[in-house]
């Protein structure tokens, strides 16, 4: 099928919750190819999902091998990969004592955090969750309510009760929202959908202190910045804090649907049989895929690579920003989670990059987000910067000509 055939069938049979452009049919490493075999440098990685790139041999082997042995049996039975994966995540989290609940997506993981917090606080009459404006936590009714963006919530009222909002990077604002019915504070180390906005130095430490003083939980949403993307296993590890629990998904499965709630000692044993469940969470196949992800990240030094390549990408984008000071405001992010902040809508720049063979994503209106796979190399970063520089030059020239 060519691109037009795919588009025609999509319009006829698929609900229009997205407005896709390209029809991508295969990938290899840091590159993807459309139905006409045009090549694109993938600096989106399925929105921070394919951390190992496309068709990584070890990852493919793990899925193929497990698919030939056992795909699904339900959580009514043990499977050998689930406790091993849970151990791997707890050991890398910094928790001395911890346990995991496995699910299928970031929204489910955050939903699990919210339920865990409510169950923990139930006997104390605590059920409210304080989240941050500009945050993004998912599209279920509970997680879109936790999301501090009106555009995500529009049209779905009445929304569930029990959510309050504070200003991101403002500890005093958070303290003001905490009351006798508050169970938890939910925050991202870096707001991804909110425009690649990292927490200020000291902010998360202050939140940890406030939560301890108020007797509430500190929960972290690590769905987008977890699994090595920022140059640490988890984003909160840059800030010297330990949450009571955190949510994972996206890069955990490298494209195979996989989510997790990772809880420390305070919350590890709150859920009992009947409190929470999932049919597909933590299947042998999903856990084998996630274990392969962790193996490859460690054996290939991808966390360190994310730090090095992220520094190279940021330096290059800062140079481009310096060449266009009238409309590029700043570059921000950590590791390979980087935003180019404009003074205008970022969609035209995203489109021009795609036309030149580079995939990135406009978010929060005026931010262009770069999320390359953690396997990205120096030549890939140089090429992405060359394309970005050329696209910015063209946009500036077009703007100059239009104003004449």
- Segment 325-355, tens digit of pLDDT: 999 999 999 999 999 999 999 999 999 999 9
Q: Is 149 annotated as a binding residue?
A: no
- Dist CA 287 CA 299 (whole Å): 18
221 has catalytic annotation: yes
Model confidence band, residue 398 (pLDDT cutoffs 50, 70, 90) = confident
- Let me know: does 20 contact 10? Beta carbons within 8 Å: yes
Q: Is 106 annotated as a binding residue?
A: yes
Q: CATH topology for 60-299?
A: 3.40.640
Which of 174, 163, 199 is CA-nearest to residue 332? 199
pLDDT at residue 399, rounded to an integer: 74
Model confidence band, residue 85 (pLDDT cutoffs 50, 70, 90) = very high
Q: Is 378 exposed, middle or buried (0-12, 13-18, 19+ CB in 10 A)?
A: exposed
- Dist CA 399 CA 404 (whole Å): 9
Q: Is 50 annotated as a binding residue?
A: no
Share the mean pLDDT of the chain.
Answer: 97
Task: State the average pLDDT over residues 300-306.
Answer: 98
Q: Is 49 annotated as a binding residue?
A: no
Is the pLDDT assigned to residue 404 strictly greater than 70?
A: no
pTM: 0.96
- Dist CA 155 CA 134 (whole Å): 18
Q: Which of 113-144 are b and which e, b meaning 16 or more Cβ less than 10 Å from the residue's Cβ? A: bbbbbbbbbeeeebbbbbbbbbbbbbebebbb
Is the pLDDT assigned to residue 82 strictly greater than 90?
A: yes
- Dist CA 310 CA 232 (whole Å): 12
How do 39-42 and 358-359 pair as beta strands?
Answer: parallel
Give 166's contacts (C-beta < 8 A, 6+ positions apart): 130, 131, 132, 133, 173, 174, 176, 177, 185
pLDDT at residue 239, rounded to an integer: 97
136 has catalytic annotation: yes
pLDDT at residue 400, rounded to an integer: 63
Q: Per the residue annotation, which of 43, 95, 101, 136 is the catalytic one?
A: 136
Q: Per the residue annotation, which of 42, 88, 221, 244 is the catalytic one?
A: 221
pLDDT at residue 401, rounded to an integer: 59
- Segment 275-287, tens digit of pLDDT: 999 999 999 999 9
Q: Is 224 annotated as a binding residue?
A: yes
Q: Where are the alpha helices (DSSP H) in 248-368?
A: 284-299, 302-323, 347-355
Model confidence band, residue 393 (pLDDT cutoffs 50, 70, 90) = very high
Q: Per the residue annotation, which of 99, 163, 250, 366 is the catalytic one?
A: 250
163 has catalytic annotation: no
pLDDT at residue 319, rounded to an integer: 98
- Segment 104-159, tens digit of pLDDT: 999 999 999 999 999 999 999 999 999 999 999 999 999 999 999 999 999 999 99
pLDDT at residue 336, rounded to an integer: 98
The phi and psi torsions of 189 (rounded to 5 degrees) equal: -65, -35
Residue range 3-55+301-402 forms a domain whose CATH class is alpha beta
pLDDT at residue 126, rounded to an integer: 98
Whether omega for the bond prior to residue 158 falls within 30 degrees of 0, making it cis, is: yes
- Dist CA 387 CA 379 (whole Å): 12
Is the pLDDT assigned to residue 403 strictly greater than 70?
A: no
Is the pLDDT assigned to residue 402 strictly greater than 60?
A: no
pLDDT at residue 344, rounded to an integer: 96
Q: Is 394 exposed, middle or buried (0-12, 13-18, 19+ CB in 10 A)?
A: middle
Which residue ranges does the chain devote to CATH 3.90.1150.10?
3-55+301-402
Which of 76, 67, 73, 61 is CA-nearest to residue 283? 73
Q: Is 139 annotated as a binding residue?
A: yes
């Amino acid at each position: 099928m060519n691109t037009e055939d795919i588009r025609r069938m999509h319009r006829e049979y698929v609900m229009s919750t997205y407005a896709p452009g390209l029809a991508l049919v295969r990938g290899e490493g840091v590159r993807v190819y459309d139905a006409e075999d045009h090549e694109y440098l993938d600096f989106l990685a399925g929105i921070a999902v394919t951390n190992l790139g496309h068709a990584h041999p070890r990852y493919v082997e793990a899925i193929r091998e497990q698919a030939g042995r056992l795909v699904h049996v339900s959580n009514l039975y043990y499977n050998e990969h689930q406790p091993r994966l849970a151990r791997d995540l707890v050991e890398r989290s910094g928790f001395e004592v911890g346990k995991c609940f496995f699910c299928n997506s970031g929204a489910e993981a955050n939903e699990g955090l919210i339920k865990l917090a409510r169950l923990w606080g139930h006997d104390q009459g605590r059920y409210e969750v304080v989240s941050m404006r500009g945050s993004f936590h998912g599209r279920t009714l509970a997680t879109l309510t936790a999301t501090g963006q009106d555009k995500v919530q529009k049209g779905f009222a009445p929304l569930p009760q029990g959510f309050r909002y504070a200003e991101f990077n403002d500890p005093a604002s958070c303290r003001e929202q905490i009351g006798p019915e508050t169970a938890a504070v939910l925050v991202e180390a870096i707001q991804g959908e909110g425009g690649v906005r990292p927490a200020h130095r000291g902010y998360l430490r202050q939140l940890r202190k406030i939560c301890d003083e108020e007797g509430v939980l500190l929960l972290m949403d690590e769905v987008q910045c977890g699994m090595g993307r920022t140059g640490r296993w988890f984003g909160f590890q840059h800030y010297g804090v330990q949450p009571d629990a955190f949510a994972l998904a996206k890069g955990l499965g490298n494209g195979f649907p996989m989510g997790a709630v990772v809880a420390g000692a305070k919350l590890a044993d709150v859920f009992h049989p009947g409190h929470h469940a999932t049919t597909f969470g933590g299947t042998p196949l999903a856990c084998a895929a996630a274990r392969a992800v962790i193996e490859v990240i460690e054996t290939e030094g991808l966390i360190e690579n994310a730090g090095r390549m992220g520094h190279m990408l940021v330096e290059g984008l800062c140079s481009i920003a310096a060449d266009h000071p009238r409309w590029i405001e700043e570059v921000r992010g950590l590791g390979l989670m980087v935003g180019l902040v404009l003074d205008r809508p970022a969609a035209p720049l995203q489109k021009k990059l795609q036309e030149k063979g580079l995939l990135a994503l406009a978010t929060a209106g005026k931010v262009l987000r770069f999320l390359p796979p953690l396997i990205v190399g120096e030549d890939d970063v140089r090429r992405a910067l060359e394309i970005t520089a050329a696209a910015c030059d063209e946009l500036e020239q077009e703007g100059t000509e239009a104003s004449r």
